[in-house]
Structure formats: structure tokens, C-alpha cells
């Protein structure tokens, strides 16, 4: 759940943010200019165009050089997606990653959409917030994945889960059962369920449903794509079955999401 969003120009040199704790996970990015997190041991000045992730209840503030200004976007969420949370539990927090120009553009647009729904609530608000959390989490996850492999003890299970997700995505219209999916990756259904819980802290159904709905929303972005086609391509079988599942998952109909 999103509990705060902020964006725009900040002058942390003249108006620094004092040390304090946040209730949730904080994503803060500097898109233009330079800022630094103020920590109990002092400021940690970093290069420009960075995204920071702080855990709940971490004590920090923000500072910048005198007379300077920076464009920032800030999001606070109560929780993280399980794959990212599992990964960051193995490393020291807070962390920061470098941003390129394209990532800065995406984050600027993302903050604009989230801020709009923050001020103008509608049924699409929750989906927009969920998308923001997914995009931010994926940005961090992919950056960390370049440098960090799973521990040796966890590697075999991690690769089985990755392979299962790949097989499911490649055969999405079939809506493979857990038994069929397990058979295709060479394990039992009960073992596959255990691996999903160990690696992702999610059941196979929870993760695979996320993949189906993610693909569905991508297809629905094209207004020419009929719901019948979306349902078939995502393994729901029919437009009516897809509409029922979509409403149950998102709290609104596919038609409302498109409007």
C-alpha cells in the first residue's frame, strides 16, 4: 500500500530534512541535481541520478549543497514484493543504485501518474499504485541481480522457480496446472510449492496469477484488443471468466480499468 508520494524541486541545502524514522519502505530518487542522505553518522554524498531504498523505521534525513536545487521523486510503501524483500534481506540496507536518463524519465512519469490519483482517487488508483511499486521494485531487483547470485545452498531451488515461471509465461494460453508445470521442470508438485514458498515467499498460484494479470493489463493497453482475446491469451478461457477474475483481483471490471 502506498502511504506517501512526493515529487518536484527540493532545496535540501536551505531546507534539509531532519533525521527521523519512516513507517514504510522509502524509495527516493534524484533525477536532476544532487542530494545526499543524512545518516546518524553524517551525510553520505553520492553521485547524481541515484535511487535509494530505505527499510521501515530507518533513521535518516536529506541534505544538499547550499544554493543547489534538485528534482526528486519519493514513494513510501508499507511492504515490498516478496522477491525483492527476500533479496534485500541478504544485503546491508540502505542501498542505492545508479539511474540512466531513461530510468529517470520513467520515474518522473510514474510519480506524475501516482500523484494524480493521490489527489483524484478513482478505481484505477490502486492499480496505478501497484504498478508503481512493481516498477520501482523491478528496477532495484534487476540492478541487484547483475551483481548478486543466490547463495550456493539456495541456487538449485532458485533456478527451478525461475524455470517454472519461464515455462508458465511461454505457455500462458494453456494455463498449466501446478502438476503439469512441475512435471515440465522435473519436480513434484509438492516440491515446486515448497520451492516457491522458500524462494519467493509466495505460493505458485499467487505468483502465476500475478503473471497472468500482468500480461492481461499489457494486452488491454491496446483498446483494439477484445476482452475475449485477452482471456484466451492469458489462460482464462473466455471474456466472462476473465472479467470475473479481473474484478476479484483488482476490485473493478476490465471495462472500468480501460476507461
Q: Are residues 98 and 188 in the same domain?
A: no
Q: Are residues 76 and 204 in the same domain?
A: no
pLDDT digits (tens, 9 = 90+) for 38-64: 888 766 666 589 999 999 999 999 998
Which one of 123, 145, 167 terminates a domain? 145
Which one of 97, 119, 145 terminates a domain? 145
Q: Are residues 112 and 168 in the same domain?
A: no
Q: Which residues pair with 61 in a beta bridge?
A: 38
Spell out the residues 6+ positions from residue 175 whose beta carbon is closer than 8 angstroms to its own: 212, 234, 235, 236, 237
Share above pLDDT 90 across residues of the chain, in percent, rounded to a whole number: 49
Q: Are residues 124 and 165 in the same domain?
A: no
Q: Are residues 73 and 22 in the same domain?
A: yes
* Mean pLDDT calculated for residue range 79-96: 83
Q: Are residues 139 and 200 in the same domain?
A: no
Q: Are residues 140 and 161 in the same domain?
A: no
The domain that contains 194 carries what CATH number?
1.10.10.60
Which one of 100, 120, 145 terminates a domain? 145
The domain that contains 129 carries what CATH number?
2.60.120.280
- Domain carrying residue 82: 2-145
Number of domain units in the chain = 2
pTM above 0.75, yes or no: no
Q: Are residues 122 and 163 in the same domain?
A: no
Q: Which residues pair with 50 in a beta bridge?
A: 30, 98
Q: Are residues 20 and 135 in the same domain?
A: yes
3-class SS letters over the chain: CEEEEEEEEECCCCCCEEEEECCCEEEEEEEECCCEEEECCEECCCCCCEEEEECCCCEEEEECCCCCCEEEEEEEECCCCHHHHHHHCCCCCCEEEECCHHHHHHHHHHHHHHHHHHHCCCCCHHHHHHHHHHHHHHHHHHHHHCCCCCCHHHHHHHHHHHHHHHHHHHCHHHCCCHHHHHHHHCCCHHHHHHHHHHHHCCCHHHHHHHHHHHHHHHHHCCCCCCHHHHHHHCCCCCHHHHHHHHHHHHCCCHHHHHC
Q: Are residues 121 and 6 in the same domain?
A: yes
Q: Please tell me the predicted confidence (pLDDT) of residue 115.
A: 94
pLDDT digits (tens, 9 = 90+) for 227-244: 999 999 999 988 899 999
Q: Please tell me the predicted confidence (pLDDT) of residue 146.
A: 66
Q: Are residues 137 and 93 in the same domain?
A: yes
Average pLDDT over all residues of the chain? 87
Q: Please tell me the predicted confidence (pLDDT) of residue 43.
A: 66
Q: Are residues 126 and 18 in the same domain?
A: yes
Amino acid at each position: 500500500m502506498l502511504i506517501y508520494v512526493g515529487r518536484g524541486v527540493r532545496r535540501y541545502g536551505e531546507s534539509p530534512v531532519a533525521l527521523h524514522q519512516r513507517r514504510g519502505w522509502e524509495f527516493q530518487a534524484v533525477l536532476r541535481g544532487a542530494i545526499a542522505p543524512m545518516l546518524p553518522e553524517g551525510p553520505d554524498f553520492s553521485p547524481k541520478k541515484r535511487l535509494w531504498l530505505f527499510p521501515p523505521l530507518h533513521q535518516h534525513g536529506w541534505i544538499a549543497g547550499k544554493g543547489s536545487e534538485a528534482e526528486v521523486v519519493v514513494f513510501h510503501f508499507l511492504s515490498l514484493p516478496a522477491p525483492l524483500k527476500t533479496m534485500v534481506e541478504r544485503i546491508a540496507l540502505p542501498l542505492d543504485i545508479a539511474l540512466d536518463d531513461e530510468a529517470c524519465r520513467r520515474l518522473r512519469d510514474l510519480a506524475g501518474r501516482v500523484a494524480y490519483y493521490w489527489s483524484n482517487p478513482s478505481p484505477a488508483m490502486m492499480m496505478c499504485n501497484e504498478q508503481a511499486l512493481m516498477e520501482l521494485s523491478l528496477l532495484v531487483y534487476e540492478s541487484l541481480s547483475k551483481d548478486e547470485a543466490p547463495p550456493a545452498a539456495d541456487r538449485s531451488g532458485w533456478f527451478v522457480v525461475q524455470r517454472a515461471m519461464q515455462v508458465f509465461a511461454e505457455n500462458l494460453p494453456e494455463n498449466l496446472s501446478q502438476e503439469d508445470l512441475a512435471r515440465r521442470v522435473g519436480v513434484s508438485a509438492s516440491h515446486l510449492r515448497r520451492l516457491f514458498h522458500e524462494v519467493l515467499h509466495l505460493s505458485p498460484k499467487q505468483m502465476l496469477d500475478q503473471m497472468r494479470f500482468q500480461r492481461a493489463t499489457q494486452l488491454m493497453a491496446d483498446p483494439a484488443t477484445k476482452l475475449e482475446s485477452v482471456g484466451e491469451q492469458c489462460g482464462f478461457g473466455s471474456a466472462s471468466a476473465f472479467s470475473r477474475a479481473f474484478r476479484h483481483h483488482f476490485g473493478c471490471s476490465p471495462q472500468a480499468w480501460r476507461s
